[in-house]
Amino acid sequence: MPNWCEGDLKVRGSKEDIINFLKGVMQPVDFLGASGEQKIVEDEFHFKIEPLNGEWGFWIAGTHRHFIESKSIDFWFEGEGEQVLVIEGFKAAWSINPEALSELSKQYNVDLRVYGFECGMQFNQEVEIHKGKIVKNSDIQFDDYDWECACPRLGG
């Protein structure tokens, strides 16, 4: 059983590119890994994706073991131009794989950013990708994890 590197996944891009990213990579899964269908609700100001059959969350297709542990992802549009969506409940087995996320970023024309906490191995990882280019992949170590880390109980 893996340790989990947990945090929030940020997606930046146009409204259309973010929606295409969500439709393309968020695959509903249950505890056994079985994949289900997406339920999508969309109007002029809001987009929501959720598992159709009550699965517990989403596998990020194109990654080995990156998930969103949430029953739904809501995206409220804020005007025109570039948008930022913060998706809570991101989990990666062992560590974040920037190469897999880079391919998705390039494919869907979005920027991705995630700061993950892994209390079991006592490290943090920060990854930032712009349109497929990895601009940051930092493994952050601490002298005193419990004291110095902002969220020392996340992950593990």
Of 12, 108, 15, which is closest to residue 60 (Cα–Cα)? 108
Number of helical H runs and strand E runs in the chain: 3, 11
Q: What is the pLDDT of residue 54?
A: 67
Q: What is the model's pLDDT at position 33? A: 67
Residues of the chain with pLDDT under 50: none
Looking at residue 36, its pLDDT comes to: 79
Tokens coding 9 = 């996944």
Here the tokens at position 141 are: 């170590």
Determine the pLDDT at residue 3: 93
pTM, to two decimals = 0.94
Predicted local distance difference test score (pLDDT) of residue 110: 98
